[in-house]
Structure 1
Amino acid sequence: MNRFSGFFLVLFVSAGFAQGSAVATVKGKVNADLYNLEGIYVINLKTEKASITDDLGYFSVNAAVGDTLVFSSIQYKSIKVALTKEHFNSNLFFVKMTPVMNQLNEVIIKRYDHINARALGIIPENQRSFTDAERKLRTATDLNASATAGSMAGGSISADPLLNFISGRTAMLKKILKVEKKEGYIAFLDNMFTEQHYVEHFKIPVAYIKGFQYFAVDNEKFTKILDQNNKTTIEFLLGELATKYIEILKNEHP
């Protein structure tokens, strides 16, 4: 082989390598069992260039035959794809990714009902618990002798309770407290007796059960029995009240 023949051979091989490693844009789509396909990194290990998938999993990246693409995401297992001519010849090539399954160990929830604010000494043992309406009413009517709202007969006291009384706020809070107690009693009755029991035992029509409950909790004698939580006595008094309530319904709807 002469000098010129060797030169042309080297030039031909170099051109072949250059043609085989030509950079082009390769397009593809990630498929997975999850719906979140956005933000998956597509990294060309050779050029260290990267792109990310859109919300449908589509991507495009500059690469050449023989380059390796890495697909990486927090929610999927990373995979590598070595690019071949087929990847460039197709309009779109698909990459299947597998979700990362983080299996949790068995969770055992233990109840510690005996550990509470009273048991820890945060709240005194015999201190009474107040509802939200009770706290607001107590605050509105409490004469705080340590306050300094001004000199008044009998010492220096907070003027807020007096202002609340004059403005009618105290009366409003008392009404709210009364309504709150009634709702509490009705919730108590809902837990104690089923709708079917009202119909079959007390003979109250379904449409009037709630009205009968309000009729019952308006009775002061009955609410005192409710506070004692004696189901036998409660059911007995409800029977008496049911008889009266049915008579009222008959008079209203003859």
Structure 2
Amino acid sequence: MKRIILCVLFFSWVFLASSQSVDLFGRIKSDGNIENIHVINKTHQLFTTTNVRGEFTMTVKLNDTLMFSSIQHKPQELVVSEVILKNKIIVIHLESQINELDEVTIGKVLTGDLMSDVKNTTGEAPINFYDVGIPGYTGKLATRSERLLDASRGGLNPVTLINAISGHTKALKAHVEMERKSELLRKVKLRYSETFFELYNLPEDKRNDFFYFCEEDDNFEEACQDKTDFEIFQFLEKKYNQYIESFEN
């Protein structure tokens, strides 16, 4: 009877320990940038990001799997142990990830033979607006569609009136809007694909379709432009649930 009571107490303690939730405080250390690193509780599908000091808080239970990832670091996973659960604090060291680019040769290859290299060189040194003292624009370059749109709206003249009446200006506006949304979608896919699909399973052949589904949302730009990782992740999570529901229907 005594052994039975001890076994019952032991298994009760194990059950309570495994079901107990705690708020885990963590800090990331790395040679690279430690802000906005993705912290994912893969077991319970929870997500957060680190602050400027590399700190985060995550609700965890015993044996939960945490994943740490960012573009600048190698992904790393950690299983919550009894020690971690008891201390309620962890320090994670992430290794920087170097993305090597293929070697690119620009221009003509010089051999070291002066006479041969002189004959093999053409053209003159380029002159920019700074060389001749002319002020120039150094901001973001407008796309072709944006330049055409600006030209179509350039003051009150017969051309701008014709563009407005014919619908040409309206069509250009729509094209500029489409380009802006496509560029935003490209950035969202690049930054969040790996992390998001670690939590939310979706076949490879459906992932692009899912992102286009997000882009079609009227609030896509408002939800993703200049927003935090957490806000964008919440938007993707909401669209994922809608996508799965529509896909099943």
Compute the TM-score of the two structures, normalised by the length of structure 2.
0.42
**TM-score, normalised by the number of residues in structure 1:** 0.41
Q: Which has the higher contact order (CA 8 A, sep 6+)?
A: 2
Bigger Rg over Cα: 1
